[in-house]
Chain A
Amino acid sequence: MNEFLLIFRRDLQSSEMQPSPEQLQNMMKKWQNWMGGIAARNKLVSSGNRLSNEGKVVKPGDVVTNGPYVEIKELIGGYIMISAESLEEAAEISKGCPILTVGGSVEVRAVIPMGT
C-alpha cells in the first residue's frame, strides 16, 4: 500500500455563492459519507484538515502579501491522506469527492516513502 495526499481546490468564485442551510447540511453529509466510505475500506490514513480562506504569502525580500493568491486560480480548501495500491486507485477514489460537484478539483500526489 502506498500513501497519497489528496488536495482539494475550490474556485474562489464558487465560494461566493450563498448556499442555503439545507444545501450546507447536504454538502456536509456528502463529505462525511465520502470520507466514511474511504475509512470503511480502511484506506483513510489521516482526516487531514480544512483550511480557512484567510492566509498570507511570504516571498523573498520580506514581502508578505495577503491572500488570495494570484498565482493559483483555485484556493486550497483542505487535504486528507489515503492509502491505495496505485496512483490510479487513488484517482478512482477521488472521483467520489464532493468538491467536484461544486466546480472544484482534487489533486492526487503520491507520498515518497521514507526510510526505504
Chain B
Amino acid sequence: MKENELLPHLFRTEYRKIISVLVRHYGFEQLSVAEDIASDTFLIAAETWGIKGLPEHPVAWLYTVAKNKSRDLLRRNAVFNEKLRPALKAELLANPETDIDLSEENIKDSQLQMMFALSDPVLSIESQVALTLRILCGFGIDEIADAFLTNRETINKRLFRGKEKLRTAHIKIGLPAAEEINKRIDAVLTSLYLLFNEGYYSSSQNSVLRKDFCLEAMRLTGLLVENEQTNNPRVDALFALMCFHASRFDARTNENGEIIRYDDQNTELWNDELISTGHYYLNKASRGKELSRFHLEAGIAYWHTTKNDSREKWENILQLYNQLLCISYSPVGALNRTYALSRIYGKQAAILEAEKLGLAKNHLYHVLLGWLYTGVDQDKAKEHLNQALIYAKTETERIGIRKELAQV
C-alpha cells in the first residue's frame, strides 16, 4: 500500500476499533469523549508521520497514542475529572489506572457489543444505519450524506439525535444475555442488511464508496458468523445473501456508476469465489427448520448467480418470491416477482399481474411496465417510461430511463 493511502486506510479500519474499546471502557455517556480521543489520535498521526515518516508498526503506534491520550485525560483534564469521574463505571473507579485494553480479542468483543448497542430498538432505523456507518465503519459525514443522497446537516442531525438517545436511554454497551441474543440479533441483522442495501441499491454515483459500504456490512456480519454466541442459521443466511449479491458487484455498474440490467451483465465478471462462499453459508444456514426472509432472499440471490437461463431457474425464483412476499411485503419484492413471472408465463400474463400491484407512484413500477409492454404495445411502453421519468428521484435513474426510452 502506498504511503499516502495508509492513513485513510488505517482510519477506516482502526478508528472504529479504538472507539468501540473506549466506549466499552467508559460507557456511552462518554461517546463524544471517545470520538475526540480517536480523532485526536489520527490528527497526531497525520502530523507526526508527515514530519517524521511512518513508524515501524503504525497500528501499534496508534493504539499507544490512543491509550496515552485517554490516560492523560483521566489524570489531568479537570473538566474530564469533574464530569466523567462521577459517571465512570465502579470498577474503573476502584482502579483508575486500568489500562485501555486494545488486544485483538477485546477489540472483537467491543465491536460485537457495539453492534448490538447501535441496533437498539429505541434508535430510529435511520439513526441506526448512520451511527453504524460512522462509529463501526468509520465513514465520514460527507460520505454518509453522499450515499443517502442528502446533505451534511441532515446526517449530523441523525447522528446527534442517535447519540442523545444512546445517552438518555442509558443504553449499555455489552452483549445481551445468551437467551436475549436470539431475540435482539434480528435488529442487528436488519441494520446490517440495510447497510448492505444502502451500498448495493444506492443511486449515488460513487460506486467505490458503495462497494465499501457492502464490504463493511459483510465484515460486520462476518463477526457475527464467527462468534459462537451470535451465530445462528439467520446469520449464515444473511451472510450467504451478501456473498451472492456481492459476487455480481463488478458486473452490475458501468464506468459511470450506472446500473447495468441483470440480463445485460457480463457473467465473466461474476466473482466465483464469492459465489462458492455463498454456497457454503447457505448450506450451513439450512441446518434446522428455520426459513427466515434472509433464507428466502439468499435462495433468490443464489438462483441469480446461476448462469444458465433455464425455466427451472425462474420457476424457483418465482416460488421463492411468492414465499418471501407472504412473510414480508416490499414493493421491490412485488416488482421482482412480477419480472420472474414474465420469464415463465410471458409478458402478457405479467402485465395483468403488474397492473394489480397498486404502485403507480413508484418509478420502478413504470420501468417494469415499460419493459413488459416493449414488443407488446410500444405506445404503452413509452407512456410508462415517461411516467417513470416523472417519479424518478435521481439524475442517475433518469439517465437510465431515457436510455430505455430511446430503445423503444
**Chain A positions near chain B (C-beta within 8 angstroms):** 29, 32-33, 35-37, 39-42, 44, 47
Listed by A's residue number, 18 A-B pairs whose Cβ atoms lie within 8 Å are: A29-B315, A32-B319, A32-B322, A32-B323, A33-B341, A36-B319, A36-B323, A36-B337, A37-B353, A40-B321, A40-B325, A40-B334, A40-B337, A40-B353, A41-B358, A42-B329, A42-B334, A44-B329
Given contacts A36-B337, A37-B353, A37-B356, contact A44 B322 (CB under 8 A): no
**Bound Cα distance from A33 to B349, whole angstroms:** 12
**Chain B positions near chain A (C-beta within 8 angstroms):** 315, 318-319, 321-323, 325-326, 329, 333-334, 337-338, 341, 353, 356-358
Given contacts A40-B353, A41-B357, A42-B329, contact A33 B334 (CB under 8 A): no
Identify whether the interface residues of B are mostly helix, strand, loop, or mixed: helix
**Bound Cα distance from A36 to B329, whole angstroms:** 10
Q: Which residues of chain B have C-beta atoms less than 8 A from A39's C-beta? A: 322, 325-326, 329, 334
**Bound Cα distance from A65 to B341, whole angstroms:** 46
Are the C-beta atoms of A40 and B357 separated by less than 8 Å? yes
**Bound Cα distance from A44 to B329, whole angstroms:** 9
Q: Which residues of chain B have C-beta atoms less than 8 A from A47's C-beta? A: 326
Q: Which residues of chain A have C-beta atoms less than 8 A from B318's C-beta? A: 33, 36
**Shortest CB distance A85–B (Å):** 10
Q: Which residues of chain B have C-beta atoms less than 8 A from A44's C-beta? A: 325-326, 329
- Look across to chain B and name the residue whose beta carbon is closest to the beta carbon of A33: B322
Instruction: List 18 extra interface pairs beyond A39-B326, A47-B326, CB under 8 A.
Output: A32-B319, A32-B322, A33-B318, A33-B341, A36-B319, A36-B321, A36-B325, A37-B353, A39-B329, A39-B334, A40-B334, A40-B337, A40-B356, A40-B357, A41-B334, A41-B356, A41-B358, A42-B334
**Bound Cα distance from A40 to B368, whole angstroms:** 14
- Look across to chain B and name the residue whose beta carbon is closest to the beta carbon of A36: B322
**Bound Cα distance from A33 to B318, whole angstroms:** 8
**Bound Cα distance from A36 to B300, whole angstroms:** 15
Q: Which residues of chain A have C-beta atoms less than 8 A from B322's C-beta? A: 32-33, 35-36, 39
**Shortest CB distance A48–B (Å):** 10
Q: Which residues of chain A have C-beta atoms less than 8 A from B333's C-beta? A: 40
Q: Which residues of chain B have C-beta atoms less than 8 A from A41's C-beta? A: 334, 356-358
Are the C-beta atoms of A36 and B356 separated by less than 8 Å? no
**Shortest CB distance B322–A (Å):** 3
Q: Which residues of chain B have C-beta atoms less than 8 A from A32's C-beta? A: 319, 322-323
Q: Which residues of chain B have C-beta atoms less than 8 A from A40's C-beta? A: 321, 325, 329, 333-334, 337-338, 353, 356-357
**Bound Cα distance from A47 to B325, whole angstroms:** 11
**Bound Cα distance from A69 to B225, whole angstroms:** 52
- Look across to chain B and name the residue whose beta carbon is closest to the beta carbon of A80: B326
**Bound Cα distance from A4 to B337, whole angstroms:** 24
